[in-house]
Amino acid sequence: LFDGASIADAAAATGFADQSHLNRHFKAMWGVSPGAFIASLDP
């Protein structure tokens, strides 16, 4: 994600069935969606 890959690409590359599956697991672990997490890192 840091290199501009989409969340869907990251989900596929890490073995998740789809983007929503990754989103659910990410949010359960970190408390925010992957998109919100990346947005929070942008100055």
Contact (CB, 8 A) for 1 and 7: yes
Q: Rounded to an integer, what distance in angstroms lies between the CA atom of residue 35 and that of residue 14? A: 16
pTM over 0.85? The answer is no
Q: What does the pLDDT look like over 1-43, one tens digit per residue?
A: 777 788 899 899 999 999 999 999 999 999 999 989 988 987 6
pLDDT at 5 (0 to 100) = 84
Q: Which two tokens stand for residue 15?
A: 């073995």
CA torsion through residues 26, 14, 20, 8, sign: positive
pLDDT at 42 (0 to 100) = 74
- Which H or E element spans position 13? helix 7-13
